Amino acid sequence: WDDDEKFSLMFVLNVLKDISRALYYLHYTVGLVHGDVYAHNIKVDKSTGRAYLLDLGASYAPLESDRKEAERLEVRAFGVLMGELLDRYDDDDDNSKEDGGAWNDLVSLKDQCLAVDVALRPSFEDVVS
């Protein structure tokens, strides 16, 4: 997206929902770590609002003993993405910040994903629920 582009809360929610589900699928069904969760690897279909996670070039299958830690590292990358999207929220679009609700939930989840203590970060199973 463009440097000055702003998003509605619904757009932010949809992107985060789709990307968290993609990451959940990679980690829990396929057994892969994406390895490059950044905005430049997300494509949004403007006609449907669906977001797609692209570029599996940095993906890898961690050892069974390393899966939980690898997931928590990728959760941090997801938290950074959340912050980038929330920073682009167009508060002229609606008053979600004042109403709390989804806005506060997203900020709280972002903070959990960015926890310095890796053990305190949620799993993608927690994120999608």
For residue 3, the tally of other CB atoms under 10 A from its CB is 5
pLDDT, residue 100, reads: 63
pLDDT, residue 112, reads: 98
**Is residue 30 within 8 Å of residue 124, measured between CB atoms?**
no
Q: In the beta sheet, which residues pair with residue 61?
A: none
pLDDT, residue 2, reads: 80
Predicted confidence (pLDDT) per residue in 71-84, tens digit: 999 999 999 999 99
Those residues with Cβ within 8 angstroms of residue 73's Cβ, 6 or more apart along the chain or in another chain: 33, 118
Backbone angles phi, psi at 89, to 5 degrees: -60, 130
Regions of the chain short of the pLDDT cut 70:
92-100
Q: How far apart are alpha carbons 15 and 112 in whole angstroms?
A: 18
Q: In the beta sheet, which residues pair with residue 51?
A: 44
Q: How far apart are alpha carbons 51 and 45 in whole angstroms?
A: 6
CA nearest 16: which of 95, 94, 80?
80
pLDDT, residue 95, reads: 58
pLDDT, residue 93, reads: 58
pLDDT, residue 99, reads: 59
Two tokens, residue 123: 């799993």
pLDDT, residue 65, reads: 95
CA nearest 34: which of 75, 81, 65?
75
pLDDT, residue 90, reads: 81
pLDDT, residue 39, reads: 94
pLDDT, residue 109, reads: 98
Its CATH architecture, for the domain 9-124, is Orthogonal Bundle (1.10)
* In the block, residue with structure tokens 């690897």: 41
